[in-house]
Amino acid sequence: MSITDELREEARGFGRYVYTAPQADCLTAIANRIDAEHEAKVSYWQGASYKDGYENGYDDGFASAGDWTEHGWVRLPVDADGVPIHIGDVMEWCDSGDTLTVEGIGKDIVFYIENEGAEWTAARNKRHHEPTVEDVLREFAERYLDYEGVPSAGRRGIGEALMDEYAARLRLAGDAE
């Protein structure tokens, strides 16, 4: 039961007190106003674009965009296309196409793991990576070998040429449909 429903129930006299009709009407009106204001805020932010929320703050009546950090909010870094970057996203460098998995974020930067160490790079020259057939095959092979208990040292037999061959075969199967 919501808080406003409890207030309405109390106004109907089911709580510890019995109210007169004007008092009950007043409490019900307060509950209705609370629900209406909440619904208006939720509807606004569900319909707002990322840019609206980013530039105007997350709640006009509570904090402006400049106050976000006081309330534990941070602006997400954005990629070369202006799309927000989240932890766990797979990004690629615009120039080389090499990929990284985002392990952390900072002001306009992303953190990733390379050679067992943490690295960071600017977010503005990366794009979100759309999975390729090779990526799906590589993930399948890794998960299967994990399931079979094959140690990472024994995985060297899964070569790029084999991935390329089967990726090409899967693409041909998709073209037949």
Residue range 156-177: mean pLDDT, rounded: 67
pLDDT at 114 over 60: yes
pLDDT in tens, 74-92: 778 999 999 999 999 999 9
CB-based burial label for 157 (10 Å; 0-12, 13-18, 19+): exposed
**What's the pLDDT band for 147 if we cut at 50, 70, 90?**
confident
Phi, psi angles (nearest 5°) of residue 89:
-65, 145
Most confident of 53-67, 94-108, 138-152: 94-108
Look up the pTM and report it: 0.47
Share of the chain above pLDDT 90, in %: 19
Cα–Cα distance, 104 to 118 (Å, whole number): 10
Rg (CA), the chain: 27
Residue 133 in contact with residue 144, Cβ under 8 Å? no
Please report the pLDDT score of residue 170 as a whole number. Answer: 78
Please report the pLDDT score of residue 176 as a whole number. Answer: 55
pLDDT at 58 over 50: no
Please report the pLDDT score of residue 113 as a whole number. Answer: 93
pLDDT at 173 over 70: no
